[in-house]
Structure 1
Amino acid sequence: MASPHAPFFPIIYVRGYAMTEREQDETTADPFCGFNLGSTVYRATPDKTKPAKKFVFESPVLRLMSDFGYADVYDNGLDILDGEWEGSLSLRSIVIYRYYEQASALLGSGKTPDISQFARGLSDLVLRVRDLACANPDNRLAPEDFRCHLVAHSMGGLVCRAFLQNPDLGDDQARASVDKVFTYATPHNGIDVAGINVPEWLGAADMNNFNRENMARYLKLEALYKKTQRVDWLPEEVFPSERFFCMIGTNRADYGVALGLSRTFAGHGSDGLVRIENASVWGVNARGKFSAPCATAYTYRSHSGYFGIVNSEEAYQNLTRFLFGDVRVDIWVDIDSVQLPPEIQGKAVNALYQFELLASPRGKRWYLTRRMAEEDSVACRSHQDLVDPAKKDARSIYLSTVFLANRARVNPARPSLAYGMTLGVRVPDYEVDRKFWADTHYEGGYLFRDTVIVEMVPPQTPGDAWTTRFGWQSDNVGHATESLAYRTLKTGKQVMTIAFGNDNAPGIAGRVRFVVSAWNAAADGQEVQ
């Protein structure tokens, strides 16, 4: 049964890893465990020699309160886990999972429990929130209809996954109460130091929580890990992958932990601690086969700090659109052909194609997702991937997911949801006979790069179809004039495609594919026609 309150459910925030006793004490002393931190600066470009720009982001807590009417749950100096706390909860509540209290020298024993205990504690907290919400007569809510959202940073995402994926670490009723999960910069496939996974024997400060063999045990993924050597799998039978979102940071330069040693050992292609390739989750079906990528978006933010991912407008907008938005768009590119330069056609060639994507809503000053070659966040395919008939699946490349919200329209008189999307495919460094082919090479060149405006008008009356237009900006700046054809899938989703590129030599041609669906449809009765 769909909840009449959807999608505005209690938000439970699960903070990240605190290494030292001092960090654990600081966490315990903070009522919101960092979810209340804002920022006044951001990097306009990756160039750290240029000054940061002023951009005020008040904090996730304050914005959820001001934008959506959420409130904290503290009362008379107590939180909901204190035995003296009395009352009931509004469904628009922000609950902080203060799991480091038991590890703190301030309020606990000073000994850190293992991650399994944190997962069990999260299960207990979900049930506590459920009981208090159902006790509120204004909610008119039965326990079986209760739902909540889990929002987590860094290791907090692993606590959420352990609770959801391991039946020994929580209650089935608690797991059934989770509607969506959003993670910021979580090391879903562990942490690598200088290219090597954190060793299992490194128990100091519980760093072995990020060792893949240990993760496979507490995530209940031993068989899949043995087969794939990865632990970033989300079994569909325990939680649907489409309800899971991974926000990924790409700025390692601004992560200053350990005087910069962390970003040095994490290396390029990281947020300063978590490698980009380890920060997402992939759905897997009951047969152990890949089913779907979880929704992902990328932002030029570091793991934490002044330029951190949690206290950023970009991540907040993805969070609220994922939790409360109206339309979901999964963005793919399907490659039809690639053409080599005439001089090397017919030769054995190695090349790596890099696919860039930037997507931003109309009228906003930030990107919903940003994948750039200079930030090591691109999607990549080899030349062999794109030309080998036996690798058909490799020619379909998932880029990102964006969520759009009717409330965010700049002009209420315009019913459309619109965003600009820049797609770029870099000219690869062609290698012939294992040697770099320098003829006609210009570093930073593109086989294709253009921006398309996509404007979607949802059905205005029941039974109507969506109206969708697009326009490449190289043809018509600022306008979407071409009608976009679509087809409906059996799942109720729509698929729309736009051709791009050409068959020049060198060149690339294919289609941008948008898989569109109504999001949070139970809340407003929307359906994809």
Structure 2
Amino acid sequence: MTDGTKVKARYPIIYVRGYAMTGSEKDETAADPFCGFNVGSTVYRAVSDRNKPAQRFVFESPVVRLMKDFGYSNIYDNGLDLPDPGFQGLLSPQSIIIYRYYDDTAPLMGGQQDASIERFAKGLSDLILQVRDHVCGNATNCMSPDGFRCYLVAHSMGGLICRAFLQNPALGDPVARAAVDKFFTYATPHNGIDMAGVNVPKWLSLFDMSNFNRDYLAGLFGYDANLCSKGRSDYLRAGKDLDIRRCFCMIGSNRSDYEVAQGLSRTFSGHGSDGLVRIENAALCSIDSTGNEVPVATAYAYRSHSGYFGIVNSEEAYQNLTRFLFGDVRIDISVDVGSVTLPPAIKDRKVDALYQFEVLASPRGKPWFLTRRTSEEDSVACRSHDELTDPATSARRRVYLSSVFLADISRVNPQDPSLSYSLTLGVRVPDYKVDQILWFDQHYEGAYLFRDTLIVEILPPAGGDGWKVRYRWQSEAAAPTLNGYHPIPFSGDSAKLTVAFASASAPGISGTLVFDISAWNA
């Protein structure tokens, strides 16, 4: 495990924007120097004094914040961009590069090129090699071409372009592919786009909408029909594609604020979406050797696909991005369900029920969540009663909730050096069906089988000691104090922390909250 004293490397960030449908949208993209990644947001938050106005909360944009917080800079030089003839800039590793792939398709720029993901993927490969040459050609960086790395950060269709480059050998240079250190997506439709419950068809070539057909995407990523079920494009093949631990999916759950097409998009994408992409289609996973799904690191925010309250221009997504890129500790959070109990009157009946698992994780002293999954926002993890009780489906008793990355130790307050956050776990009382008929007795709509908040503090190494942790359920004591720290038993660079939980009565649930902790950027 890292001791937190070594200065970690910083690599260039290449932003890849999302889909532009019409010619005017492509023009707008081409005219914007940062393709939308410079857009911030302002929201209001309530204050305790009702006689005072609500407080503004301003997010300045990911580009500005990366400059202020981490010393990054853009690369424009005397009006020229990196691919332009005459560009002379020798780049710092802490550079922000915008992949301007729509420029030669935009009417504003006289664009005549086709807007194919395949062509964009090849262009991304070329851009990475150009960035490498400019970074490694700068003698002050002391970086060899073999040691060059970069981060890919993509919104929406931009993530599909990145995956086509990273997964399809015909669409990129292997040297460029090997240079990608981490891959972060905002609201990418990894498994395509559905409208009114139907996947966008292959024949719908208008405005290149067929780019979001699942069968097309599966072929684009080089999947063989024998290796995956028909129409699946949302997983990575273990050992053949990307290292799944170096990928992150940021998912939005607010459809209400997505105004595209005068609200028709959010209407047809329906509940359980960000207004365009369905929540389940924005996640990635892998398939292990036993056939079980292994999720990629994921976090959820109550943000729409884009717009004033979009996911890219949000504090929540920015915090997940920078902690994923630069943080020190990774924690994958899941629940191992031990048992579920039914209301006494139906405990021996055949029951159909769906259990909804909620989670909210927030760092100490911050007015936002690193991840937010709630029933009302359709972003919960779900398991059926049969999955949690049938021995044949025991693997389904492990429920992945989310991943959090804790902040760069060098930026922690030295007066209080622990990395601390709260995690609220909730399991809703399901709607019970007995003999296919809803059963309404002995439980309450919207109630919880279990709900409590766990306070966790992780203490980085100091004075030769290893990592330590302390925690408690908020309901266990009125005082906000925690028990003393105790060592985390690391094996190599990883450890596991388990915390039991149980309902007080039936109907109920019991199990273990599991934190898989590992060194990050060691």
Q: TM-score, normalised by structure 2?
A: 0.94
Deviation at 1:217, TM superposition (A): 1.2
Query: Does structure 2 conserve the Cα–Cα contact (< 8 Å) formed by 1:331 and 1:398?
Result: yes
1:402 corresponds to which residue? Answer: 404
Cα deviations across residues 51-75 of structure 1 (Å, max 9, x unaligned)?
9963100000000000000000000
Aligned residue identity for 2:429: V
- Aligned equivalents of 1:349 and 1:28: distance in 2? 56
2:376 corresponds to which residue? Answer: 374
Q: TM-score, normalised by structure 1?
A: 0.93
Deviation at 1:229, TM superposition (A): 3.1
Q: 1:372 to 1:43 in 2, by over 3 A?
A: farther
1:265 corresponds to which residue? Answer: 268
Q: 1:30 to 1:137 in 2, by over 3 A?
A: same
Residue 231 of structure 2: which of 225, 229, 232 is its match?
229
Identical positions, percent: 61
Query: Does structure 1 conserve the Cα–Cα contact (< 8 Å) formed by 2:353 and 2:430?
Result: yes
Query: Does structure 1 conserve the Cα–Cα contact (< 8 Å) formed by 2:326 and 2:408?
Result: no
Residue 126 of structure 1: which of 128, 131, 137 is its match?
128
Residue 250 of structure 1: which of 250, 253, 262 is its match?
253
Query: Does structure 2 conserve the Cα–Cα contact (< 8 Å) formed by 1:240 and 1:283?
Result: no
Runs of 4+ deviating beyond 6 Å: none
Deviation at 1:485, TM superposition (A): 7.2
Q: 1:486 to 1:393 in 2, by over 3 A?
A: farther
RMSD: 2.0
- Aligned equivalents of 1:407 and 1:219: distance in 2? 37
Deviation at 1:225, TM superposition (A): 7.1
- Aligned equivalents of 2:290 and 2:225: distance in 1? 9
Aligned residue identity for 1:192: D
Query: Does structure 2 conserve the Cα–Cα contact (< 8 Å) formed by 1:503 and 1:509?
Result: no
1:429 corresponds to which residue? Answer: 431
- Aligned equivalents of 1:500 and 1:450: distance in 2? 9
Query: Does structure 2 conserve the Cα–Cα contact (< 8 Å) formed by 1:282 and 1:290?
Result: no
- Aligned equivalents of 1:88 and 1:433: distance in 2? 71
**Where do 5+ consecutive residues of structure 1 fail to align?**
45-50, 522-529
Q: Secondary structure at the match of 2:476?
A: coil
Per mean C-alpha deviation after superposition, the further-off stretch among 240-249 and 6-15 is 6-15
1:240 corresponds to which residue? Answer: 243
2:214 corresponds to which residue? Answer: 212
Deviation at 1:224, TM superposition (A): 5.9
Q: Does 1:79 align with 2:81?
A: yes
Residue 324 of structure 2: which of 307, 322, 338 is its match?
322
- Aligned equivalents of 1:383 and 1:211: distance in 2? 33
Q: Does 1:495 align with 2:496?
A: yes
- Aligned equivalents of 2:218 and 2:303: distance in 1? 28
Q: 1:308 to 1:337 in 2, by over 3 A?
A: same
1:275 corresponds to which residue? Answer: 278
Query: Does structure 2 conserve the Cα–Cα contact (< 8 Å) formed by 1:484 and 1:496?
Result: no
Deviation at 1:194, TM superposition (A): 0.4
Query: Does structure 1 conserve the Cα–Cα contact (< 8 Å) formed by 2:75 and 2:89?
Result: no
**Where do 5+ consecutive residues of structure 2 fail to align?**
1-5, 47-52
Query: Does structure 2 conserve the Cα–Cα contact (< 8 Å) formed by 1:7 and 1:323?
Result: no
Q: Secondary structure at the match of 2:225?
A: helix
- Aligned equivalents of 2:410 and 2:430: distance in 1? 38
- 1:47-446 matches, cutoff 5 A: 54-223=56-225, 227-236=229-238, 237-284=240-287, 289-290=291-292, 292-407=294-409, 411-446=413-448
- Aligned equivalents of 2:80 and 2:7: distance in 1? 27
Query: Does structure 1 conserve the Cα–Cα contact (< 8 Å) formed by 2:17 and 2:157?
Result: yes
Query: Does structure 2 conserve the Cα–Cα contact (< 8 Å) formed by 1:452 and 1:473?
Result: yes
Query: Does structure 2 conserve the Cα–Cα contact (< 8 Å) formed by 1:326 and 1:520?
Result: yes
Q: Secondary structure at the match of 2:204?
A: coil
Q: 1:493 to 1:291 in 2, by over 3 A?
A: farther
Q: 1:186 to 1:113 in 2, by over 3 A?
A: same
Aligned residue identity for 2:61: S
1:527 corresponds to which residue? Answer: none
Aligned residue identity for 1:465: G
- Aligned equivalents of 1:140 and 1:382: distance in 2? 55
Q: Secondary structure at the match of 2:496?
A: strand
Deviation at 1:288, TM superposition (A): 8.9
Q: 1:42 to 1:174 in 2, by over 3 A?
A: farther
2:49 corresponds to which residue? Answer: none
Cα deviations across residues 371-424 of structure 1 (Å, max 9, x unaligned)?
000000000000111111111110011000000014586642112110000000
Query: Does structure 2 conserve the Cα–Cα contact (< 8 Å) formed by 1:333 and 1:397?
Result: yes
Counting matched residue pairs gives 510
Deviation at 1:230, TM superposition (A): 1.4
Q: Does 1:28 align with 2:14?
A: no
Q: 1:42 to 1:330 in 2, by over 3 A?
A: farther
Aligned residue identity for 1:507: G
1:520 corresponds to which residue? Answer: 521
Deviation at 1:22, TM superposition (A): 0.1
